[in-house]
Structure 1
Amino acid sequence: MDESFNRACLLEHNRLREKHGCPPLTLDSKLTKDAQEYAEFLAKVECFVHSSGDHGENMSLRVGFGKLNITGEEVTNLWYREIENYKYGDKVQMECGHFTQVVWKDTKKAGFGRAYTKDGRKIYVVGRYYPPGNYQGCCKLNVPRPIS
């Protein structure tokens, strides 16, 4: 497990959550282990599909040539950028689900994983969250507008 990657993801999540008045997340060892294992599975089978379970989940896939990388800060901001299309209200908007999970107020802990395919041309990133977000009828309370 890449502790510096996890720390960078967590710090950026908490910086962005603070902008919305949401409490900070804590890093959870089980969520981290599970996220890393799932990222490694995705990289092995080269498939991009969400898992099932009682957690929230954000995923990202970067494809390219040469020396690929994605930092914790970059992937968190990639997910957060969906705020540009978010319409505040009580309806879950699937096209903004990464953003809403990043700032979901009731989520308390998270863990992250990053894995490369064997040929190094793809990077899979998985974020796991608990309690999960993106419940219909709960967005108004859990996805506040930025404070400033």
Structure 2
Amino acid sequence: MEWCEHLLAVNFAIVNFALPSFAQNMQEDFLDAQNLQEDFLDAQNNARAEVNVEPLAWDDQVAAYSLAYAEQRIGDCNLVHSEGPYGENIAMGTDDMSIADALEMWIEEKVYYDHCSNSCAAGEICGHYTQVVWRDSIHIGCAKVRCDYGGTFILQL
């Protein structure tokens, strides 16, 4: 077999095997992003419905901001707020923390929140919960990244 026939065989293999794999990875990434979006929206909107607050809508611009900041935290996964223009919740897990786990952690603070006084019980934290159900919030954008050490950083704006 001449060298050009080998080259043709290699090119054929790349087209038939590499591209479908690449396309499959793109499709999996798209489905993961879509599932992430649905997971954030469903859990937050369920918590908001419990207190008669309108549901949130996904905002691609806010999500892009969230992802850009979350990617900055990949090296250390520190719970540091972005100090950007949005209110935000952050969570960090030492393993692959799920969206549901992060939201459950924030929503569990509800027991410490007094709706009448709009304040937390003495010595307790409830600011993550209030961020989830804040009446004036109408859009959301979130991101989840795996940190260099294997943990997870989740940001909700």
Aligned partner of 1:145 in structure 2 is: none
Which runs of structure 1 show a deviation greater than 6 angstroms over 4 or more consecutive aligned residues? none
Gaps of 5+ in 2: 1-28
Instruction: Note the C-alpha offset of 1:95.
Output: 1.4
**Aligned residue pairs: how many?**
123
Instruction: Note the C-alpha offset of 1:117.
Output: 1.3
Instruction: Note the C-alpha offset of 1:85.
Output: 1.5
Percent identity between matched residues is 24
Which of 75, 80, 101 is equivalent to 1:74?
101
Contact 2:113 2:119 in 1 (8 A): no
RMSD of aligned alpha carbons: 1.8
Q: Which has the larger radius of gyration?
A: 2
Distance 1:73 1:119 in 2: 21
Gaps of 5+ in 1: 129-148
Q: Structure 2 length normalisation: TM-score?
A: 0.71
Letter in 2 for 1:127: Q
Contact 1:39 1:126 in 2 (8 A): yes
Deviations 1:29-84 (A, max 9, x none): 01111111211211223322111122110000101xxxx32332222121100012
Instruction: Note the C-alpha offset of 1:4.
Output: 1.0
Instruction: Note the C-alpha offset of 1:90.
Output: 3.5
**Greater relative contact order structure (CA < 8 Å, 6+ sep):** 1
Contact 1:6 1:72 in 2 (8 A): no
Structure with more helix by fraction: 2
Letter in 2 for 1:101: Q
Aligned partner of 2:89 in structure 1 is: 58
Secondary structure at the counterpart of residue 43 of structure 1: coil
